[in-house]
Amino acid sequence: MTSHRLTSRRSLLKGAAAGGLLAASPLAARFASAQSEPIRIGFQQHQTGIGAAYGRWYGRTTEAAVKAINDAGGINGRPVEIVAEDDGTDPKRGAEVIEKFATQHNCDIAFGTLFSHVVMGSAPAAGELKLPYFVVSEGHHVASGALNRWTLQPGITDVKSQVSSMAPWVTDTLGKKVTMVFPDYAFGHDHRDFFSAAVKAAGGDVVGLIPIPPTETTFTKYFPQIPRETEVLYHVMVGPAVLTFVKELGEFFGPSAPAIFGFIDSLEAVDLASPGLEFLDGTYFWEGNPRYAQADQSEYDKAFRAAVGVDDTGASTSDAKDVSTYAHMWGCWETLYIIKAAMEASGYAGPDDRQALVEAVEAMTDMPEGMEHPQGPKLFNGRTHQVFGRQYVSQAKEGRLVKVHATSIEDTLYPDEVDYTTMSF
């Protein structure tokens, strides 16, 4: 199996163009067979904790993808049912949720986790329970070989590929002396380690590293640590205090700021027009998927926005103040379509076919741009269980983000660090 496509792409685009997905016929009519027991997907959701904003939009994206899949006939003629459990963005609760999916909810697979420390805490349980665990996390933990064969990240790119493809652009365009401000846990450590190495390889130098506790609520006390020779300030903060972080950064620097390159994580679910963010005008951000519809917007991005209920600014179509986590949430949509393709390729009928399901994913390679991959084309590496795709740099201009650079997939590749296919199940 080298690729997969959504067979109902034309009908989905037609429905989306009319302002939403095609009207769903009743489940009973579409799945009337006695054999149509639902495929149950355990959704490990950050409903509370520092990941709550992401969890809410991961949930909306998941609901939209499942609706589209069920409207098109489900998976192997069976409807898909989501069983959501709150992990509190907490590693211990994450492991407990995985166990509930396997032993109480009779889920076929687990899916959806974002925060890397929760993945690290949950993956061992998935391995012990032999429950396929599809994470939408971006951390390098999967591709590093730190986890197990039951854990896969086939629908979203990882930090190592993101920063290694961005670093040459940063050093060539903005400056070679970089100070990094990052959260002090696994996700931030990935940025610290991989971006530092990539900057050095590109002829630059990381002159300052400033870790921030993930529970911090005020940040001004950290900013005097920024070395005077800094030419580029690199920030990647997450959690409910991100708006405070960015505002305090602007107050600290005033008009004398260095060049600023941020990962949009620092402003996910935050309106760029919020008071106090004016100083960001002209600064740059990595985006996994451009929040604002661009001049070269694809038909797939347009249809994806309609399906999940997001307008051209990345806000909810029902509430302009409800800004989405658009740079990340597409990973849920794409992962669910990968699960669908793998279940169909393996003839998945139930838990006895879980190993065949994982092997079907491992056999995937090219994933062409389309309705199942609206962010862009992908290349999956079955040995490392990690997908690779294009990355984007956008510039803040008058309260919007305008795409100024896109990498190739080739820019994001790095040597394998593991071969999960040689591991036992």
pLDDT at 35: 62
Q: What is the pLDDT of residue 9?
A: 33
Q: Among 88, 262, 119, 91, which residue's Cα sits nearest to residue 182? A: 262
Residue 28 shares a structural domain with residue 142: yes
Return phi, psi of residue 194, to 5°: -80, -35
**What amino acid is encoded at 348 in this protein?**
Y
- Where is average pLDDT lowest: 239-243, 340-344, 346-350, 411-415? 239-243
143 and 22, same domain (yes or no): yes
Decide if pLDDT at 3 tops 80: no
Radius of gyration in angstroms for the set of CA atoms belonging to the chain, rounded to a whole number: 21
How much is the average pLDDT of 153-163? Answer: 96
Per-residue DSSP letters for 272-310? TTSTT-GGGTT-EEEESS-SSPPTT--HHHHHHHHHHTB
48 within a domain of the structure (yes/no): yes
Rounded to whole angstroms, the Cα distance separating 234 from 196 reads: 11
Q: Is pLDDT at 110 greater than 60 in this prediction?
A: yes
Q: What is the pLDDT of residues 382-409, one digit of tens each?
A: 999 999 999 999 999 988 999 999 999 9
> Can you tell me which residue has the tokens 């996910």?
268
For residues 271 and 304, state if they share a domain. Answer: no
Q: Is-contact 414 288, C-beta < 8 A? A: no
So what's the pLDDT on residue 18? 32
d(CA 94, CA 46): 9
Domain for residue 398, yes or no? no
One domain for residues 354 and 327: yes
Q: Are 133 and 98 in contact (CB under 8 A)?
A: yes
d(CA 416, CA 418): 6
**Are residues 110 and 167 both part of a single domain?**
no
Chain segment 47-77, per-residue pLDDT in tens: 999 899 999 999 999 999 999 999 999 999 9
Same domain, 81 and 205: no
**Are 308 and 281 within one domain?**
no
Per-residue model confidence as pLDDT tens digits over 253-311: 988 899 999 999 888 998 888 888 888 899 999 999 999 999 999 999 999 999 999 99
Distance CA 257, CA 234 (A): 12
Per-residue model confidence (pLDDT) at position 21: 34
Query: Whole-number mean pLDDT of the chain?
Result: 91
Q: What is the mean pLDDT of residues 352-361?
A: 98
d(C-alpha 177, C-alpha 364), whole Å: 40
User: CB-based contacts of 280: which residues, under 8 Å, 6+ apart?
Assistant: 246, 250, 260, 272, 396
What type of residue sits at position 224?
A: P
313 in the same domain as 275: no
Quote the pLDDT of residue 27.
Answer: 52
What's the mean pLDDT in 162-174? Answer: 95
The DSSP string of 7-59 is TTHHHHHHHHHTTSSPPPPPHHHHS-STT-PPEEEEEEE--SSTTHHHHHHHH
Query: Which among 239, 255, 287 is the end of a domain?
Result: 287
Range in 24-33, 161-170, 182-191, 192-201 with the lowest mean pLDDT: 24-33
H or E element, residue 339: helix 326-346
Interval 231-249: pLDDT, tens: 999 999 877 778 888 889 9
How many helices (H) and strands (E) the chain has is answered by 11, 17
> 246 lies in a domain?
yes
With a cut of 70, say whether residue 350 has pLDDT above it: yes
Residues 269 and 226 in one domain: yes
Residue 112's nearest CA partner among 133, 128, 93, 92 is: 133
- Cα-based angle 318, 323, 329 (whole degrees, multiple of 5): 105
Q: What is the pLDDT of residue 36?
A: 80
- Does residue 417 sit within a domain? no
Q: Tell me the percentage of the chain whose pLDDT exceeds 90.
A: 79
In percent, how much of the chain has pLDDT > 70? 92
The amino acid at 88 = G
Residue 399 lies in a domain: no
The residue segments making up the domain with residue 27 are 9-157+297-389
Provide the 8-state DSSP code for 255. G
Residue 400 lies in a domain: no
Amino acid 233 reads: L
Residue 32: per-residue pLDDT? 56
Number of other residues whose CB lies within 10 A of the CB of residue 213: 10
Phi, psi of 211 (to 5 degrees): -80, 140
Q: Which amino acid is at 109?
A: I
The kind and range of the H/E element at 397 are: strand 392-397
Split into its structural domains, the chain has a count of: 2
Query: Residues 116-137: what's their mean pLDDT?
Result: 97
Strands 133-134 and 151-152, by their bridges, are: parallel
268 and 171 fall within a common domain: yes
Identify whether residues 100 and 166 lie together within a single domain: no
Residue 14 has pLDDT above 60, yes or no: no
Tell me whether residue 224 is in a domain: yes
Task: Identify the pLDDT of residue 33.
Answer: 53
Exposure of 97 in the CB half-sphere (CA atoms within 13 A)? 30
- Main-chain dihedrals φ then ψ at residue 214, nearest 5 degrees: -65, -15
- Tell me if 211 is assigned to some domain: yes
Is 151 in the same domain as 244?
no
Q: Does residue 379 surpass a pLDDT of 50? A: yes
CATH number of 283's domain: 3.40.50.2300
